[in-house]
Chains A and B, each alone.
Chain A
Amino acid sequence: AQSVTQLGSHVSVSEGALVLLRCNYSSSVPPYLFWYVQYPNQGLQLLLKYTSAATLVKGINGFEAEFKKSETSFHLTKPSAHMSDAAEYFCAVTPHPGGYNKLIFGAGTRLAVHP
């Protein structure tokens, strides 16, 4: 069975500071991993995905994530936070890369950015 754990339900950073959102996964098969962002009263928007190619994945809005098999981690980072980054972030896993299989989500991390 697959599962995702996001450490820290709330993260607060200053504008311009490094953003680090943590995600650890459990999977009995090679996983495919995703980060989604959710702004208030909206659905989920894909930030980036890992599908067994490069372990360092670059996404939209300056975010990137590194797949570390030895640590079963897929942490999300951004060098410099912007006020517009304030949102809820979800890490998700699936055994297949495409749309065939269900996504299993973590509980989410709410990112606050203060001036």
Chain B
Amino acid sequence: GAVVSQHPSWVICKSGTSVKIECRSLDFQATTMFWYRQFPKQSLMLMATSNEGSKATYEQGVEKDKFLINHASLTLSTLTVTSAHPEDSSFYICSARDRQGVDTIYFGEGSWLTVV
């Protein structure tokens, strides 16, 4: 079945550096991808909606200059956390929408980011 691959699964970075997380749809073309973050014991929070070939749409309160999203191809979207701070430490998850056949959304396995 359709699979969404997210990489890396775990990343530790120093405060002030940038880190990139990739989200790939492995066997379908995803014109729309979504990025979420989740703090411990809290629900998912949608950060932005990414449409291939256009600028991402950010949710209110999400800094677009801090969380750079690129969706350059139909199978790849990237989230770059710039100038990371410890408060950015979180679980980041992507999902991709497959509109072919049964319209559904597939989730990546998520990426644990720890900023030290």
The judgment on whether A and B are partners is no
Q: Which residues of B contact A (CB under 8 A)?
A: none
Q: Which residues of A contact B (CB under 8 A)?
A: none
